Amino acid sequence: MISATDLRKGVTFELNGDLHRVLEYQHSYIGRGSANVRTKLRNLRTGRTVERTFGASEKFLEVRLELRQVQYLYRDGDLYYFMDTETYEQPALAAEALEDKVNYLKEGLVLSLSMFEGQPVETELPVTVELEVTETDPGVKGDTATGATKRATLETGLVVQVPLFVEQGDIIRVDTRTGEYLTRV
């Protein structure tokens, strides 16, 4: 058990039967009253974000998630299937749990999957992924000195801003944390 004052960014705990991860926290101490902890939490099962305030004396059950290396296999409707690289099990996650991470999923991509009591909960993408440009406008000659950019659609449907020299069919590296173009491969 952990108390509300032990909540920090990244801590995962059980609240009302659901798993929550702390995204932000702030301790506030009021004059003669007790301390409060204001938090921003993500429900790991639904992906929803909520803000909650807890009293300093409240207690929670801390949970430990098991991290596994998995490889993305395919999408079937609203489910995304992965393969555990050690046991060859194939857990599936719903699109709501993956949120905007689906924009970076490419067949064969190796990533981390958090498991709780044998059930997949959350994925952690690598910092960068390499994706093919499927659609972009041609660059205008002589406009490269200004550092101009143009829109490019990638193989997963993600749209990013790229330099003018990037063309259709190029493979580019994208930062999964910010969704920005890094370099052409």
Q: pLDDT digit string (tens) for 132-170?
A: 999 998 876 665 566 788 999 999 999 999 998 899 999
Q: List the domains of the chain with CATH numbers.
A: 2-62 (2.30.30.30), 66-124 (2.40.50.140), 128-184 (2.40.50.140)
| 81 token code pair | 């299937």
Residue ranges in the chain whose pLDDT is less than 50: none
Any idea what DSSP says for residue 169?
Answer: T
pLDDT at position 1, please? 85
State what percent of residues in the chain have pLDDT above 90: 51
pLDDT at 145: 61
pTM for this one? Answer: 0.75
pLDDT value for 157:
92
- Exposure of 151 by Cβ count < 10 A (0-12 exposed, 13-18 middle, 19+ buried)? exposed
* Residue 150 β-bridge partners: 162
64 DSSP assignment? -
Q: Which residues contact 33 (CB under 8 A, 6 or more apart)?
A: none
Per-residue pLDDT, 141: 65
Specify whether the CB–CB gap between 125 and 111 falls below 8 A.
yes
Q: What is the DSSP letter of 88?
A: -
